[in-house]
Amino acid sequence: MKDKIRHAWKLLRRRPASLVGFGLIAFFFAVAAAAPLIAPPEKNSRDAYLIPQDGYSPDPVRPSAKHLFGTTEQQYDLYYGMVWGTRTAFRVAVVVVASSLTVGILIGGAAGFYGGWVDELMMRFTDIVLAFPDLILAVVIVTVTKPSLSNVMLSVAAVSWPSYARLLRGDVLSIKERDFVSAARALGASDFRILSRHIIPNCIYPLLVVASLSMGRIVITAAALSFLGLGAPVGYADWGQLISLSRNWLLGSNGNPFEYWHTVFIPGFAIFFFVLGWNLLGDAVRDILDPRQK
């Protein structure tokens, strides 16, 4: 195990890009972990994710000592929102990837393992979900289940699992025929045991590679839903929503087009670097886990 880690570290060091990715995610993780310290919630606040407001005036205010990143429209403190929004971003990424991966494994695994009509049924269902324009399906799901952060996660997971299912099914199909599986079956192992002990562990790596690569995409999709006004309630620390608050202020004031630059640039670049971090890290994971790609 130690060797493996050392090997991974060596690979990581050889690719500076991966190091950058690692650094970015580590940075965001540190911000998320330290949120209560670097952006302490107001004393009477019941939910730390609610961004404090300094008055209700519609005009954004530029960064100052009082508000490090300035305020958005309706005076939400952008710094506070960015810091706590980091936690939201991690939560969305991890929950969505984990849940869509689970669904993908269940459906793809069952389809590949049992074959026959189970396979046919599950794969046709997968095809149908794939044929759906995913953002529109996600919007329908969120609208029907009422907009909220958890429903955004649900809807993004609902449109992301099919690619995992397809991938896993293919791998299961090929591994199923191998000798060690037949041997286990001959020894009378149960279906569940064969699947969980022999098949899944042997085809999980490509899946993990794809999962780590899709982390960034998922964050973008969730942020896009927030941007359309379907995410967390206004004032909840969420990057996608913070950037949508900037839409009316893009042109700045008259004579100074960059008067309200902070409302676009800060949340915009945070999303960008967060996704970039995952993508670079995903590349690294692929290099480590998937030797074929080297």
Partner 1 sequence: MLKIAALILLALAACSKRQASKGFDPDTYNYLTFNDADSLDPQYEYDSASEMVIHNIYEQLFWFEGGSTEKMTPLLATKVPSRENGLISADGRTYTIPIRKGVKFHDGSEMTPEDVRYSLMRAMLSDREAGPASLLMQPLLGYPATRDDKGKLNLNAYKDAARAVTVEADNVVLRLPKPFAPMLSILAAVPNACVVPKKWLAAHGDWDGTEANWAKFNNPQKQTSPIYEQADGTGPFKLVRWDRATKETVLERNDGYWRAPAKLKRIVIKSVDEFNARKLALQAGDADSIYADREVRSQVDNIPGVVVLDDLPTMEMNPMLYFTFHMNAQGNPYTGSGKLDGDGIPEDFFSDIEVRKGFAYAFDYEGFIRDVDRNKAIQATGFVPYSLPGHNPDQKKYEYDPGKAAEHFKKAFGGQVWEKGFRFTMLFNTSNQPRQSLCQILKHGIEALNPKFRIDVRPIDWPAFLDAQQAHKLPVFILGWNADYPDAHNFAFPIMHSKGMYPFDQHYANAEADKLIDAAVYESNPAKRKKLYARVQEIEYEDVPNLVIHDGTRLRVQRDWVKGFVPNPIYCDPPYGTCFYTIYKSTATEAAGK
Partner 2 sequence: MTRFILKRLAFLPLVMLAVTMLLFAILQFLTPEMRAALYVKDPRQLASVEQIIDKYGLRDPVYMQWGRWVVQVAHGDLGYSETAKMPVADAIRAFFPATLELSILSFIPILILGVAFGTLSAVYKDKWLDQLTRLVAITGYSLPSFVLGLLLLMIFYGQFHIFPPGRYSLDVDLLVHSDAFRHYTGLLSLDCLLNGEFNAYLDVTKHLILPAATLIYIDLALLLRITRSSMLEELGKDYIRTAKAKGVPGPVIVRKHALKNALIPVVTLSSLIFITLLGGVVITETVFDFPGIGRWGVVAAQQLDIAGVLGSTLLASGLFVVANLVSDILYAVVDPRIRVN
Under DSSP, the state recorded for 15 is -
Contacting positions for partner 1 (CB under 8 A) = 44, 46, 53, 55-59, 73-74, 143, 146-147, 229, 233-234, 247-251, 253-255
Shortest spacing between CB 201 and partner 2, in angstroms: 26
Shortest spacing between CB 224 and partner 1, in angstroms: 17
Shortest spacing between CB 37 and partner 2, in angstroms: 28
Nearer Cβ to partner 2 (200/211): 211
Buried b (16+ CB within 10 A) or exposed e, 21-40: bbebbeebeebbeebeeebe
Nearer Cβ to partner 2 (36/257): 257
Shortest spacing between CB 140 and partner 1, in angstroms: 12
d(CA 122, CA 111): 6
Nearer Cβ to partner 2 (50/165): 165
Nearer Cβ to partner 2 (97/280): 280
Contacting positions for partner 2 (CB under 8 A) = 17, 124, 127-133, 135-137, 139-141, 143-145, 216, 220, 223-224, 227-230, 243, 246-247, 250-252, 257-258, 261, 264-265, 268-269, 271-273, 275-276, 279-280, 283, 293
Nearer Cβ to partner 2 (28/261): 261
Q: Would you say 97 and 215 are in contact if contact means Cβ atoms under 8 Å apart?
A: yes
Nearer Cβ to partner 1 (73/287): 73
Shortest spacing between CB 139 and partner 1, in angstroms: 11
Nearer Cβ to partner 2 (100/155): 155
d(CA 271, CA 239): 7
> 């060797």: which residue's tokens?
3
Shortest spacing between CB 220 and partner 1, in angstroms: 21
The entry of partner 1, partner 2, none near residue 53 (CB within 5 to 8 angstroms by kind) is: partner 1
Shortest spacing between CB 91 and partner 2, in angstroms: 18
The entry of partner 2, partner 1, none near residue 245 (CB within 5 to 8 angstroms by kind) is: none
d(CA 144, CA 218): 21
The entry of partner 1, partner 2, none near residue 23 (CB within 5 to 8 angstroms by kind) is: none
d(CA 101, CA 129): 15
The entry of partner 2, partner 1, none near residue 255 (CB within 5 to 8 angstroms by kind) is: partner 1
Q: Would you say 75 and 67 are in contact if contact means Cβ atoms under 8 Å apart?
A: no
